[in-house]
Amino acid sequence: MEPLHEKKLAHLEEVANRVREGVIDSLFVAGSGHSAGPLGMADIVTALYFHILNHDPKHPDWSDRDRLVLSNGHICPVQYVAMAYAGYFPIAELKTLRKLNSRLQGHPHRGALPGIETTSGPLGSGLSQAIGMALASRLDNKKNRIYCLLSDGEHEEGNLWEAAMFAGKNKLSNLTAIIDRNNIQIDGNTENVMPLESLRDKYESFRWHVLEVDGHNIEQFVDAVHEAIAIYEKPTVIIAHTIPGKGVDFMERDYHWHGKPPNKEEARLALSELRTLGKRIRSEHE
Q: What is the pLDDT of residues 228-271, one digit of tens each?
A: 999 999 999 999 999 999 999 999 999 999 999 999 999 999 99
Report in angstroms the alpha-carbon separations of 77 from 43, 63, 74. Answer: 13, 25, 8
pLDDT confidence of 213, banded at 50, 70, 90? Answer: very high
Residue 10 half-sphere exposure, CB side, CA atoms within 13 Å?
Answer: 11
Q: What is the pLDDT of residues 62-85, one digit of tens each?
A: 999 999 999 999 999 999 999 999
Burial class (CB within 10 angstroms; exposed 0-12, middle 13-18, buried 19+) of 56: middle
Q: What is the mean pLDDT of the chain?
A: 95
Calpha distance 36→15 (Å, rounded):
18
Q: Is 253 helix (H, G, I), strand (E, B) or coil?
A: coil
Domains of the chain: 6-284 (3.40.50.970)
pTM over the 0.85 mark: yes
Q: So what's the pLDDT on residue 282?
A: 85
Q: What is the pLDDT of residues 117-175, one digit of tens each?
A: 999 878 889 999 999 999 999 999 999 999 999 999 999 999 999 999 999 999 999 99
Q: Where are the alpha helices (DSSP H) in the chain?
A: 6-30, 36-40, 42-47, 76-86, 126-139, 158-169, 190-193, 199-205, 218-230, 264-284
Q: So what's the pLDDT on residue 61?
A: 94
